[in-house]
Structure 1
């Protein structure tokens, strides 16, 4: 009976690999289930091995366990299927990439790695101090390739009101190893500061790097913006409204692009009060300041001169619906802007926590492919 109960619990957990979470802690568990699948699959195998046919409830437990095992492993199989055509699809979208020949979108062996270990040391510095004494800092990961190198400006998530430049730093180290300077910036947070303050912060960060280009070995003709969640909205808005030719591309992970429409479809309140979050950032509810919601929606500012855009969004995202990516992809297609949406059917918000998970591997490859295409 104990075996059956444990296997039923595992089956319920495995559903998070295919269905959307309905509460905050289930969302966090969904990240673990979908991006560390071998841990859960291994536990299921152990429970299955304790008995197959003999004894009461054994057969029922075995059936339940096999179903759970298949669901736990499903992100791996689906990731493999996407990886088979990812390189070709990105080549069609952006042109040939300058990646190493041994670069592959997905490796089963990497699933056994639980933590990125080859971290690059960073230093924290101030890029601007405003008149009220607010000093904005950034973490700089120097390129591990000599010469003046492109710079990736990373904009963290956190519902515009939290988070910092330390967030998900493994990718920063990896990109530095590949020859990109990476500047993970902090920006002014809501509700004290509201849109468009963070976009102004990006503009000031770029001005700082131009002034100190020789010190940081930055090729100031080649910036790429990368943002996650709220940071994705900021990065996209900056890329589409600053009209800066040195912004060679923008990468967005699961970001809201239509703030007007987004306000009309609030998130599950058991996970996040999205209307309050948006109101704190924009400056009030939509019925009070509708124009500001329009003005901070990247979707309304794309044009033929917009930089190439890489979108990465999971279908099971419960904080920012993947339909934002659908809308942006259609608009960029209409405007003839080079773009690609890496669509991950099993992935939820924050799936890239693990660079070696099914979604983490694909997104890391896509980022590397994109950077090697839009920068020289």
Structure 2
């Protein structure tokens, strides 16, 4: 090869490498588009029209609660960092507490983990280590990435149990709306390899020993379900699955906690509003649990709007129902 051709080839190769490097950096630093259609404020404005006396629940932070915010629980290929916040009680040297992973709602597309900081703080004040975790939404990754992320968060908390005095034999998932569906799916798929993806803490268990589902659907293709109405455009569930329920019914069935109940399913508390479609499949699931001798209970606010856990007067009773259930299940 002539000398000038050799140098030209080297320059071309160097240019290509630089382009690839810059492209990789751009991908690394480019966040997924954020959908802000569901926020505490927007939900409040909507709910206040029918419930003019409600207020956003922001109780004072209890003095015995410590906070570790913005921790990375897993770094995915490409550099994407998944974050969580830990709220935990002050502890004596050998003291241990049960843990609760809290999952926000927002149609698998919107919402934010900070929406449940007040709940996490109140649970921590009552003797629980509470974690609020982000997960990849449908704007970034389709099903089943969200539940895979949350199982990774459970593995993270077990890996860091000593730092926060966590009793790893007593771990619960708590979720609202889409987060309730995810919390229930997380717990009903204990040990299922389909959902055990991700590079982080694979030697740890992602099992949970209790579930609290606040208005999260238990079934997508079900007479009680309102998910998948695409007449005015793709529904939240269609966007999450990447296909309508007629195109990929297998995925819609696979993501239903109702279809994963087994003898390994932990006890479940259902806390529900008066919006019946938000807990589709609940009664069928409870019948399966009864047949297996697994404890469940239902607490409800028939007059409440769907986002009741975010607002007074339902916030404090939601906290108390959660604590009473977990204390019973965990023997506190």
For Structure 1 versus Structure 2, the TM-score category normalised by the shorter chain is: 0.7 to 0.9
Where does residue 242 of structure 2 map in the other structure? 283
Where does residue 122 of structure 2 map in the other structure? 174
2:291 equivalent to 1:339: no
2:317 equivalent to 1:362: yes
SS at match of 2:245: coil
SS at match of 1:166: helix
Counterpart contact for 2:175–2:182, Cα < 8 Å: yes
2:304 equivalent to 1:304: no
2:89 equivalent to 1:143: yes
Offset of 1:267 from its aligned partner? 8.3
The whole-number CA distance in structure 2 between the counterparts of 1:180 and 1:161 is 28
Counterpart contact for 2:229–2:235, Cα < 8 Å: no
Q: Alignment partner for residue 373 of structure 1, among 305, 322, 328?
A: 328
Name whichever structure is richer in helix by fraction.
1
Bigger shift: residues 132-141 or 331-340: 331-340
Counterpart contact for 2:190–2:265, Cα < 8 Å: no
| RMSD, matched Cα | 2.8
Any residues of structure 2 matched to 1:215-254 within 5 Å, and which? 215-243=163-191, 246-254=207-215
Q: Alignment partner for residue 220 of structure 2, among 259, 267, 274?
A: 259
Cα distance, 1:258–1:323 mapped onto 2, change above 3 Å: closer
The whole-number CA distance in structure 1 between the counterparts of 2:206 and 2:226 is 35
Where does residue 131 of structure 2 map in the other structure? 183
Q: Alignment partner for residue 210 of structure 1, among 158, 181, 196?
A: 158
Where does residue 49 of structure 1 map in the other structure? none
The whole-number CA distance in structure 1 between the counterparts of 2:278 and 2:172 is 24
Any residues of structure 2 matched to 1:73-84 within 5 Å, and which? none
2:306 equivalent to 1:349: yes
Q: Alignment partner for residue 28 of structure 1, among 26, 47, 57?
A: 47
Cα distance, 1:34–1:338 mapped onto 2, change above 3 Å: farther
Counterpart contact for 1:257–1:298, Cα < 8 Å: yes
The whole-number CA distance in structure 1 between the counterparts of 2:47 and 2:128 is 31
5+ residue gaps in structure 2?
Answer: 1-42, 192-204
Bigger shift: residues 116-125 or 294-303: 116-125
The whole-number CA distance in structure 1 between the counterparts of 2:75 and 2:206 is 25
Q: TM-score, normalised by structure 2?
A: 0.73
Q: TM-score, normalised by structure 1?
A: 0.65
SS at match of 1:260: coil
1:41-96 deviations in whole A, cap 9, x for unaligned?
xxxxxxxxxxxxxxxxxxxxxxxxxxxxxxxxxxxxxxxxxxxxxxxxxxxxxxxx
Bigger shift: residues 301-310 or 205-214: 205-214
5+ residue gaps in structure 1?
Answer: 1-23, 37-112
Offset of 1:274 from its aligned partner? 8.9
Where does residue 15 of structure 2 map in the other structure? none
SS at match of 1:140: strand
2:285 equivalent to 1:328: yes
1:6-53 deviations in whole A, cap 9, x for unaligned?
xxxxxxxxxxxxxxxxxx8884225744745xxxxxxxxxxxxxxxxx
Counterpart contact for 2:98–2:129, Cα < 8 Å: yes
The whole-number CA distance in structure 2 between the counterparts of 1:126 and 1:314 is 33
Q: Count residues in correspondence.
A: 271
The whole-number CA distance in structure 2 between the counterparts of 1:266 and 1:159 is 10
Counterpart contact for 1:144–1:178, Cα < 8 Å: no
Q: Alignment partner for residue 143 of structure 2, among 165, 179, 195?
A: 195
SS at match of 2:209: strand
Offset of 1:163 from its aligned partner? 1.4
SS at match of 2:89: coil
Any residues of structure 2 matched to 1:28-67 within 5 Å, and which? 28-29=47-48, 32-33=51-52, 35=54
Counterpart contact for 1:128–1:135, Cα < 8 Å: yes
Any residues of structure 2 matched to 1:87-126 within 5 Å, and which? 115-119=58-62, 120-122=65-67, 123-126=69-72
